[in-house]
Amino acid sequence: MRLLPAVLLTVLLGCDDTVFGVPSHGSGGGSTGATDSTDSGDTPSDSGDTTGDSGDTDDASYHPDGFSDPTVHGMQAKLQEQTCIACHGDTLEGVGQALSCDTCHPTGWRTDCTFCHGGAVDSTGAPPVHLSNADETDTHAFGPHMSHVAAGDLHDGFDCDSCHTKPTDVLSVGHVFVGDETPGVADVDLSGGLSAGGSWSGTSCSDLYCHGNGRRDNGSMSGQGEVTGCGDCHADLDAGRDGWDTMSGEHEDHLREGLECADCHGETSSDSRSIADTSLHVNGTVDLAWTGSVVKTGDTCNGACHGEDHDDRDWD
Ligand code: HEC
Ligand code: HEC
Ligand code: HEC
Ligand code: HEC
Ligand code: HEC
Ligand code: HEC
């Protein structure tokens, strides 16, 4: 029995309107909703019965030649140019002819966070490598993943959930294959981190605690920005009176008199120019550590320090 390819396709895929009107997102054609996707997901399984004796699956291929190349089908999946689950099943385990993705992928790929992105520097899944498979850091909306995710001189590592809903699997809702409303673009959600009140515009962050001066969510930062010194977020030892005036309470008085950060925040910084214990810095808490008998309760200090009585002194 000979059939024209188009007719054969129709038979194999079991319907006439979803063959070329492939359920897709993005540039690949008309976008369809979840309902359509589910409906068309059934079609290849119907067709499964009819293929047994046709013998000639090449003619019947839905995908073009070369599609099994990871740089082709992998990229289409990552950019969600087609709705893979519509035909390969809600769990990607295959429906009829549309085989399971597990057929070729290594065991564990579904929870391997560097299978599709990340991996150039560590195994967290954070770029570089980007979705495009490029590993450069400077041409993407957000360059400095590693300086956040990895522990550094200023802070411990921040996990993905500071800035994203962190998936556990490729099928996690909102991640990539299921319920993701932003094909090919990562969703940013700061609500799980220290900068819960912050926002991401697509190129920069604003209303951040982490890049603020420690008094409120008043920091902002470009997605390509770099931290250059202690004075970037709050006044530092060299800021002078105008800078110190932006800090709370009696900072300016004390710093002007020659005290240093380490005199009052000795565990966080022992030399006032570097961080001694990164777990105490940008952790959401102002850590006080000083010698002397002063006790601060609310905004009021009592006791003595640097030879001076501080009873009932206000810090506000
Ligand atoms: C015919 C074999 C085959 C099938 C079927 C298959 N893949 Fe792949 N895919 C591969 C190979 C090979 C790789 C590269 C694996 C590696 O690097 O370890 C890959 C890699 C990928 C990648 C990563 C690409 C990248 O550049 O980061 C994605 C995403 C992907 N596949 C999606 C899918 C999805 C979704 C399905 C099921 C709808 C699927 N694949 C079915 C062979 C296949
Ligand atoms: C309209 C249904 C449909 C959609 C949507 C679909 N596939 Fe397929 N896919 C099939 C069928 C049917 C096969 C079996 C071979 C064929 O017909 O090409 C298949 C086979 C494959 C293969 C094996 C290689 C090959 O060329 O046969 C890979 C890899 C694959 N699909 C990946 C994907 C990925 C990744 C997506 C999403 C980006 C996707 N498919 C979307 C129906 C679909
Ligand atoms: C099959 C490929 C694939 C695998 C495997 C994968 N991801 Fe993703 N991931 C993507 C794609 C594609 C995006 C961009 C999402 C979009 O389009 O909204 C993404 C985005 C993300 C984001 C940004 C937030 C979001 O959902 O948009 C995080 C965080 C993330 N992935 C973490 C992980 C973690 C953790 C793992 C391992 C448990 C993992 N990914 C495994 C493909 C994958
Ligand atoms: C400090 C905030 C922050 C942290 C922490 C963070 N990300 Fe992101 N991430 C972003 C921003 C911002 C984007 C850019 C979103 C956009 O394109 O609009 C992004 C984009 C991504 C992308 C898409 C990259 C691309 O090529 O478009 C992936 C994948 C991703 N993040 C994964 C992760 C993973 C995995 C982790 C944890 C190991 C993580 N991120 C931690 C802020 C963060
Ligand atoms: C990216 C912004 C940023 C940079 C850069 C920065 N800080 Fe901070 N710093 C903060 C924030 C926010 C706080 C508020 C308290 C907290 O969450 O730890 C803080 C608090 C402090 C404190 C108060 C004690 C404490 O544990 O909170 C000291 C001391 C301090 N920083 C010293 C430094 C020094 C020294 C440097 C340079 C090596 C530096 N900071 C660079 C953001 C920054
Ligand atoms: C005389 C003691 C003292 C000195 C010196 C001092 N701090 Fe503080 N710092 C405090 C107190 C007290 C607080 C308020 C803690 C609270 O609100 O619970 C504070 C709070 C902070 C905060 C949170 C934001 C704010 O303004 O309240 C930052 C950031 C900070 N200090 C950084 C520094 C840095 C950097 C230096 C050195 C340039 C420094 N401090 C020197 C006592 C001091």
- Average predicted confidence (pLDDT) for the chain: 85
pLDDT attached to residue 59: 59
Nearest CA owner, ligand 5 atom 37: 230
In angstroms, the CA 62 to CA 19 distance is 8
Q: CB under 8 Å to 279, separation ≥6 — which residues?
A: 156
Q: Over 60: is that where the pLDDT of 282 sits?
A: yes
Q: Over 90: is that where the pLDDT of 209 sits?
A: yes
In angstroms, the CA 43 to CA 41 distance is 6
Displacement of CA 65 from its chain's centroid (Å): 34
Query: Tell me, what amino acid is at 284?
Result: G
pLDDT higher at 308 or 104: 104
Q: Which of 238, 248, 313 to mutate to test the pocket of ligand 6 (most atoms within 8 A of CB)?
A: 248
Which of the four pLDDT bands, split at 50, 70 and 90, describes residue 17?
Answer: very low
The rounded Å distance from CA 85 to ligand 2 centre is 10
Which of the four pLDDT bands, split at 50, 70 and 90, describes residue 78?
Answer: very high
CB-based burial, 113-144: b 16+ in 10 Å, e otherwise: bebbbbbbbeebbbbbbbbeeeeebeebebbb
Nearest CA owner, ligand 2 atom 22: 68
The rounded Å distance from CA 122 to ligand 3 centre is 15
The rounded Å distance from CA 217 to ligand 6 centre is 17
Q: Which residues line ligand 2 (CB under 6 A)?
A: 22-23, 44, 60-63, 67-68, 73, 76-77, 81-84, 86-88, 97-99
How far lies 181's CA from each of 18, 20, 92, 192, 300, in Å?
21, 23, 19, 20, 51
Nearest CA owner, ligand 2 atom 8: 98
- The response to whether residue 286 sits with its C-beta less than 6 Å from ligand 4 reads no
**Cβ atoms < 10 Å from Cβ of 43:** 21
In angstroms, the CA 277 to CA 156 distance is 9
pLDDT higher at 184 or 252: 252
Which of the four pLDDT bands, split at 50, 70 and 90, describes residue 114?
Answer: very high
Are the C-beta atoms of residues 244 and 235 closer than 8 Å to each other? yes
Which of the four pLDDT bands, split at 50, 70 and 90, describes residue 43?
Answer: very low
Are the C-beta atoms of residues 46 and 96 closer than 8 Å to each other? yes
Which of the four pLDDT bands, split at 50, 70 and 90, describes residue 36?
Answer: very low
Range with the lowest mean pLDDT among 137-141, 261-265, 272-276? 137-141
Are the C-beta atoms of residues 248 and 315 closer than 8 Å to each other? yes
